[in-house]
């Protein structure tokens, strides 16, 4: 199973390829590898005593956000097909939502409440599989 979301038989590599349903799209939209890396690295940073935790986490958050976009673009790349920009954008926002729900480094902001993160995570994850990543070039 590739990472690119397939919503029509025309996009499939073969006639036997299965179209992605709700749960397939959910799995493909969430960048679990990057979120897992984030969880691991935040644990390392919080455990280190000689590192400015807050500043380091904000810098790493920016790096991981960019890394998510690059990683998803690479994972969804298929020759002779347009880049999966919409899927990459949704996945990058999904990473941000997951980090917001996990707390670090957003918990240093005055407005942050863990309940907001949990609600946003649930709502976002319920909605994103309903979005079909139809590329602009297919509309022509």
User: pLDDT tens digit string along 63-81?
Assistant: 999 999 999 999 999 888 8
Q: Which pLDDT score, from 0 to 100, does residue 124 have?
A: 96
Residues 124 and 107: their CA atoms lie apart, in Å, by 20
pTM (two decimals): 0.85
Torsional class of 103: left (φ above 0), alpha (ψ -120 to 50), beta (otherwise): left
Cβ neighbours of residue 116 closer than 8 Å, sequence gap 6 or more: 100
Residues 101-130 have a mean pLDDT of 94
How would residue 30 be classed by pLDDT, with cut points 50, 70 and 90?
very high
Mean pLDDT of all residues belonging to the chain: 87
């Amino acid at each position: 199973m590739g990472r690119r979301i397939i919503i029509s038989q025309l996009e499939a590599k073969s006639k036997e390829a299965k179209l992605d349903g709700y749960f397939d799209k959910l799995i493909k939209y969430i960048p679990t590898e990057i979120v897992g890396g984030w969880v691991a690295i935040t644990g390392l940073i919080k455990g280190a005593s000689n590192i400015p935790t807050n500043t380091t986490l904000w810098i790493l958050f920016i790096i991981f956000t960019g890394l998510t976009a690059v990683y998803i673009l690479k994972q969804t790349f298929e020759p002779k097909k347009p880049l999966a920009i919409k899927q990459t954008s949704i996945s990058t926002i999904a990473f941000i939502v997951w980090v917001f729900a996990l707390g670090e480094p957003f918990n240093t902001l005055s407005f942050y409440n863990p309940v907001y993160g949990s609600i946003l995570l649930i709502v976002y994850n319920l909605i994103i599989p309903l979005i079909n990543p139809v590329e602009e070039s297919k509309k022509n």
